[in-house]
């Protein structure tokens, strides 16, 4: 089972690494990273550098395509070659998925027109501009396309995807081995719950 995650400069680290941690436990799965060119890519926070050995153009097909988000998706939505590759991969994937603003890449590739989809709450207008119908759900499945909301939701999506690729028992075992049992200290993890002063502070975080 071939699971491919494209990386790019200014990728959001948890978008990629969270699902990688989960899907790496799927029996028989190979998870690999690809990039525009072989070499080092750096996350959006600037301290995590990943050496990626494989060009995306060297990959002709995969079982699962998972597109993470981050500031680096802005150039990707204008990259005709990369978008053509995404469309080509989607033709034969079992599942085409995204985390956070990775859904904008799927939208720019024309894969979300008329479909319900989600993304980070800060890019709703951008997502809808590609013809998607935004929903505030944390994970949205439309047949072979699965989108997830901001950053941490990629872990939820990956556990659900693990169940689709194997079975519920295996996915539950992966959830246990990673001890994914969230108990956040604050109940401000969605824009619907956060008070105005928290939303205001978000604007100062970079």
Active site residues: 100
Calculate the CA 181 to chain-centre distance.
20
Residue 2 near residue 60 (C-beta atoms within 8 A):
no
Q: And the tokens for 51?
A: 């050496």
């Amino acid at each position: 089972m071939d699971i491919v995650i494209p990386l790019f400069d200014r990728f959001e680290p948890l978008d990629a690494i969270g699902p990688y941690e989960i899907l790496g436990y799927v029996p028989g799965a190979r998870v690999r990273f690809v990039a525009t060119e072989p070499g080092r890519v750096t996350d959006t926070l600037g301290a995590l550098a990943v050496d990626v050995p494989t060009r995306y153009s060297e990959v002709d097909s995969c079982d699962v395509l998972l597109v993470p988000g981050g500031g680096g998706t802005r150039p990707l939505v204008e990259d005709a070659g990369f978008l053509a590759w995404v469309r080509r991969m989607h033709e034969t994937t079992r599942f085409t998925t995204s985390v956070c603003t990775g859904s904008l890449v799927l939208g720019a590739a024309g894969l979300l027109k008329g479909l319900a989809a989600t993304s980070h709450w800060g890019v709703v207008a951008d997502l809808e501009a590609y013809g998607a119908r935004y929903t505030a759900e944390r994970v949205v499945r439309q047949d072979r396309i699965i989108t997830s909301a901001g950053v941490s939701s990629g872990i939820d999506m990956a556990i659900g995807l693990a169940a689709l690729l194997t079975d519920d028992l295996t996915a539950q075992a992966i959830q246990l081995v990673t001890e994914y049992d969230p108990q956040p200290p604050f109940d401000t993890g969605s824009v619907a719950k956060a008070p105005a002063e928290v939303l205001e502070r978000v604007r100062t975080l970079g």
